[in-house]
């Protein structure tokens, strides 16, 4: 049995292997001549509550034994080229992890993805960033790896009950992610590394006999209505091609509005869902470091600091969302005529900016003016705010922005701070464009956060519209036991778009869980 101890280390000590070994020997009262075969770092976190930030390192020491080698997940994979086919719509984290799980379970995944492969996608991202042109099938949300590929790549999740976090992280490491993600309390991959991991996962799926088709936009469902119970037997792609399978997994993400509309047209039940909407807030990273670490500049071994804020205003949560230290704000629109922003960062998190979503919970009772849209009410509300932000601009992907102090006072900013947002910003009264319930809660929330983080409420900070794709505004229901849609045999809603995940890890784990249920259905 390995011995375990937790060390507290200064930033200047965290990379000093010799010193760490000495401390472990001392703490575990091991004599220097006792054989210390290996030290395994189990968990690394930062505690910045006191004036001097420290690392906490949980270490396992193996005395007279060596750590057991773990079996690679890929060793469980089988050749599935001749197995029963299952259609997976969407190559995001839910779709790709479901495909890997199916290979482990002996089913043949056929992945259909409306966008392009991760590499070809880059050209379309450049077109959004530099020319303001949004490709409706290839953008920050659509394409191989889904919204996860050019995302920030934060890998922590609160959904510990949903599946194996360790297995998910191991799969990522086996496909090229830095093994540190198995140790860090807040693991992060970064937008520059994610595409390589995603491409390696694709190679594994193909190697074991799965299929992946890009530029394959699923625009209809093929239903067998000959039976009393409706059953899905396949899907139509690009208006002409058909793919048939034993089951169909819908893992299309929160921005596939056409899929929600398609289900609605087929009278397959969908449900309006609460979500959250607001703005992205951007500060100089140095300012956040000074608040969090009490030092400016931060020590070179400390990562760019982050924060997480939450408060209640008029019965609704106001909270920070998807904080990206040392990151960039990116244009995440999925169609022309809308402004949507999100955040990402490179693995080194070394930009001069800290950005985060700052959003307000939207409950269904807030959407009465949209009730005419039925189950698409929340989606239509989301659309209308994104469109108003676009209409305030010049028809490009330039986004409206306001210094936060001006936003709270209700006045136009005479100028704006520097930004990481490449398409550019223009000064606008966000307090006039945002719906009243969102605006007033954000204004009050920002003033509360000023008390929680001294210096956060600063004229150096600005807000940018719109942070609206926080989660799906629609749920595609499923049976709690079979995870299948209650009205259609063989249809398995999955991941963030169906309302059962929020982030890369939970989407990946949901994909694996649904794959297991599909195996039970197919066999
Ligand atoms: C810029 C950005 C930064 C983010 N940062 C983080 C982060 O740091 N950490 C984190 O956990 N999460 C982050 N997220 C969110 C995360 O990416 C999503 O939660 C996750 O990708 C959801 O996975 P999914 O598989 O359910 O759906 P998605 O990733 O949305 O994938 C759905 C896929 O389905 C495809 N599709 C849609 N409709 C069709 C159709 N009709 N036919 C064929 N294919 C279709 C889409 O093209 C897409 O590839 C970020 C998102 C963005 C945009």
144/293 same-domain check: no
Angle between helices 118-126 and 194-207 (to 10 degrees): 150
Residue 430 near residue 402, CB atoms below 8 Å: yes
Which residue's alpha carbon is at the smallest distance from atom 50 of ligand 1? 151
Ligand 1 atom closest to the CA of 254, numbered from 1: 30
Among the three residues 467, 492, 507, which one is the final residue of a domain in this structure? 467
Q: Provide the H-helix boundaries in 419-500.
A: 430-433, 436-452
Written as six digits, the tokens of 206 are: 């193909």
Among the three residues 14, 31, 63, which one is the final residue of a domain in this structure? 63
Residue 420 near residue 455, CB atoms below 8 Å: no
Residue 124 near residue 136, CB atoms below 8 Å: no
DSSP annotation of 127: I
Buried b (16+ CB within 10 A) or exposed e, 297-309: ebeeebbbbbbeb
Position 220 in a domain = yes
Best residue among 197, 198, 239, 253 to mutate for probing ligand 1's pocket (most ligand atoms within 8 Å of CB) is 253
Ligand 1 atom closest to the CA of 258, numbered from 1: 41
Which residue's alpha carbon is at the smallest distance from atom 3 of ligand 1? 151
Q: How far apart are CA 478 and CA 485, in angstroms?
A: 4
32/108 same-domain check: no
Q: Beta partners for 58?
A: 6, 43
Best residue among 100, 125, 147 to mutate for probing ligand 1's pocket (most ligand atoms within 8 Å of CB) is 147
Residue 41 near residue 89, CB atoms below 8 Å: no
Best residue among 91, 92, 514 to mutate for probing ligand 1's pocket (most ligand atoms within 8 Å of CB) is 92
Instruction: List, in order, residues 6 or more apart from 179 with CB less than 8 Å away.
Output: 173
* Domain extent for 399: 274-467
Angle at 415 between CA 401 and CA 289, to 5 degrees: 70
Which residue's alpha carbon is at the smallest distance from atom 17 of ligand 1? 148
418/501 same-domain check: no
Report the pLDDT value the prediction gives residue 64, as an integer from 0 to 100.
Answer: 76
Q: How far apart are CA 509 and CA 401, in angstroms?
A: 36
Tell me if residue 345 falls in helix, strand or coil.
strand
Cα of 297 vs centre of ligand 1, distance in Å, is: 35
| Cα within 13 Å of Cα(394), Cβ side | 9
Cα of 375 vs centre of ligand 1, distance in Å, is: 22
User: What does the DSSP assignment read for 31-89?
Assistant: -TTS-EEEEEEEEEEEE-SSSS-EEEEEEEEEESS-PPPPPPGGGG----TTS-EEEEE
511/460 same-domain check: no
Report the pLDDT value the prediction gives residue 35, as an integer from 0 to 100.
Answer: 58
454/331 same-domain check: yes
Cα of 462 vs centre of ligand 1, distance in Å, is: 26
Position 458 in a domain = yes
22's enclosing H/E stretch is helix 17-27
373/494 same-domain check: no
Cα of 253 vs centre of ligand 1, distance in Å, is: 5
Residue where the block lists tokens 């799980």: 101
Distance, C-alpha 206 to centroid of its chain: 25
Cα of 393 vs centre of ligand 1, distance in Å, is: 27
Q: Which residues line ligand 1 (CB under 6 A)?
A: 89-95, 112-115, 140-143, 146-148, 151-154, 216-218, 251-253, 256, 258-259, 322, 330, 332, 342-344, 495-497, 501, 503-505, 507
Position 72 in a domain = no
Cα of 149 vs centre of ligand 1, distance in Å, is: 8
Angle at 145 between CA 338 and CA 140, to 5 degrees: 20
Angle between helices 165-174 and 93-105 (to 10 degrees): 90
Instruction: List, in order, residues 6 or more apart from 77 with CB less than 8 Å away.
Output: 100, 103, 104, 204, 208
CATH label of the domain that carries residue 23 = 3.30.1660
284/394 same-domain check: yes
Best residue among 124, 503, 511 to mutate for probing ligand 1's pocket (most ligand atoms within 8 Å of CB) is 503
Q: Per residue in 467-512, pLDDT tens? A: 999 999 999 999 999 999 999 999 999 999 999 999 999 999 999 9
Ligand 1 atom closest to the CA of 252, numbered from 1: 34
Position 397 in a domain = yes
Cα of 174 vs centre of ligand 1, distance in Å, is: 21
Closest CA to 473 of 359, 309, 307: 359
Number of domains in the chain: 3
Best residue among 124, 135, 151 to mutate for probing ligand 1's pocket (most ligand atoms within 8 Å of CB) is 151
Q: How far apart are CA 488 and CA 494, in angstroms?
A: 14
Report the pLDDT value the prediction gives residue 174, as an integer from 0 to 100.
Answer: 96
Which residue's alpha carbon is at the smallest distance from atom 46 of ligand 1? 142
- CA distances to 240, 262, 492, 514 from 245, rounded to whole Å, are 17, 19, 12, 16
Q: Beta partners for 54?
A: 47
Q: Per residue in 369-420, pLDDT tens? A: 999 999 999 999 999 999 999 999 999 999 999 999 999 999 999 999 999 9
Residue where the block lists tokens 């306001």: 402
Ligand 1 atom closest to the CA of 115, numbered from 1: 47
Distance, C-alpha 272 to centroid of its chain: 21
Written as six digits, the tokens of 494 are: 């999955």
Position 69 in a domain = no
Best residue among 87, 89, 90 to mutate for probing ligand 1's pocket (most ligand atoms within 8 Å of CB) is 90
Q: Beta partners for 38?
A: 62
Cα of 397 vs centre of ligand 1, distance in Å, is: 20
Residue 494 near residue 514, CB atoms below 8 Å: yes
Among the three residues 444, 467, 490, which one is the final residue of a domain in this structure? 467
Residues of the chain predicted below pLDDT 70: 33, 35-37, 161
Q: How far apart are CA 381 and CA 506, in angstroms?
A: 26
31/58 same-domain check: yes
- Tell whether omega for the bond before 373 is within 30 degrees of 0, i.e. cis: no
Cα of 416 vs centre of ligand 1, distance in Å, is: 31
380/482 same-domain check: no
Q: Where are the beta strands (DSSP E) in 130-174?
A: none
Q: Beta partners for 510?
A: none
Cα of 141 vs centre of ligand 1, distance in Å, is: 5
Report the pLDDT value the prediction gives residue 74, as an integer from 0 to 100.
Answer: 87
Residue 329 near residue 420, CB atoms below 8 Å: yes
239/295 same-domain check: no
Q: How far apart are CA 247 and CA 256, in angstroms?
A: 20
Q: Provide the H-helix boundaries in 251-376.
A: 257-265, 285-293
Position 511 in a domain = yes
Instruction: List, in order, residues 6 or more apart from 368 with CB less than 8 Å away.
Output: none
Q: How far apart are CA 277 and CA 381, in angstroms?
A: 10
Cα of 7 vs centre of ligand 1, distance in Å, is: 38
Ligand 1 atom closest to the CA of 149, numbered from 1: 17
Q: How far apart are CA 105 and CA 132, in angstroms?
A: 43
515/407 same-domain check: no
Which residue's alpha carbon is at the smallest distance from atom 19 of ligand 1? 503
256/391 same-domain check: no
Position 504 in a domain = yes
N- to C-terminal Cα separation, the chain: 41
Q: Where are the beta strands (DSSP E) in 190-244?
A: 211-213, 218-224, 230-237, 241-244
Position 70 in a domain = no
Cα of 469 vs centre of ligand 1, distance in Å, is: 10
């Amino acid at each position: 049995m390995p011995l375990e101890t937790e060390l507290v280390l200064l930033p200047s000590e965290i990379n000093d292997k010799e010193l760490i070994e000495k401390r472990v020997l001392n703490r575990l009262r091991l004599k220097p001549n006792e054989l210390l075969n290996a030290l395994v770092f189990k968990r690394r976190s930062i505690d910045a509550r006191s004036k001097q930030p420290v690392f906490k390192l949980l270490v396992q020491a193996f005395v007279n034994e060596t750590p057991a080698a773990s079996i690679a997940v890929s060793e469980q994979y089988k050749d599935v080229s001749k197995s029963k086919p299952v259609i997976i719509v969407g190559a995001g984290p839910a779709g790709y992890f479901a495909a890997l799980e199916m290979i482990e379970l002996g089913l043949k995944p056929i992945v259909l993805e409306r966008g392009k492969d991760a590499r070809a996608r880059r050209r379309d991202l450049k077109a959004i960033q530099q020319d303001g042109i949004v490709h409706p099938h290839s953008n920050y949300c659509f394409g191989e790896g889904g919204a996860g590929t050019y995302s920030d790549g934060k890998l922590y999740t609160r959904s510990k009950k949903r599946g194996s976090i360790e297995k998910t992280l191991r799969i990522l490491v086996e496909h090229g992610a830095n093994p540190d993600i198995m140790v860090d309390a807040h693991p992060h991959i970064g937008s520059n590394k994610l595409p390589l991991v995603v491409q390696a996962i694709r190679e594994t799926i193909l190697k074991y006999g799965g299929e992946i088709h890009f530029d394959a936009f699923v625009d209809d469902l093929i239903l067998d209505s000959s039976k009393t119970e409706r059953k899905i037997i396949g899907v139509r792609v690009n208006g002409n091609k058909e793919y048939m399978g034993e089951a169909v997994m819908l893992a299309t993400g929160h921005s596939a509005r056409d899929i929600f509309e398609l289900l609605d047209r087929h009278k397959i039940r969908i449900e309006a869902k609460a979500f959250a909407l607001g703005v992205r807030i951007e500060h100089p990273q140095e300012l956040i470091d000074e608040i969090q670490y009490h030092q400016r500049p931060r020590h070179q071994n400390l990562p760019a600091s982050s924060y997480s804020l939450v408060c209640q205003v008029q019965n609704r949560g106001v909270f920070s969302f998807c904080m990206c230290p040392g990151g960039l704000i990116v244009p995440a629109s999925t169609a022309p005529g809308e402004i949507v922003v999100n955040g990402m960062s490179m693995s080194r998190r070394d930009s001069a900016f800290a950005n985060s979503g700052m959003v307000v919970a939207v409950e269904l009772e807030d959407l009465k003016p949209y009730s005419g849209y039925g189950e698409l009410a929340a989606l239509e509300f989301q659309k209308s705010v994104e469109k108003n932000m676009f209409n305030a601009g010049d028809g490009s992907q330039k986004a409206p922005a306001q210094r936060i102090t001006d936003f709270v006072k209700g006045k136009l900013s005479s100028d704006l701070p520097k930004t990481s947002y490449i398409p550019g910003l223009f000064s606008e009264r966000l307090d006039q464009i945002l719906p009243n319930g969102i605006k007033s809660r954000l204004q009050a929330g920002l003033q509360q956060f000023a008390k929680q983080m001294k210096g956060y409420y600063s004229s150096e900070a600005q807000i940018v519209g719109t942070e609206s794709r926080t989660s799906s505004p629609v749920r595609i229901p499923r049976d709690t036991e079979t995870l299948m849609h209650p009205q259609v045999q063989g249809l398995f809603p999955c991941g963030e778009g169906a309302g059962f995940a929020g982030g890369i890890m939970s989407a990946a784990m949901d994909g694996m869980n649904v794959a297991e249920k599909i195996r039970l259905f197919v066999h």
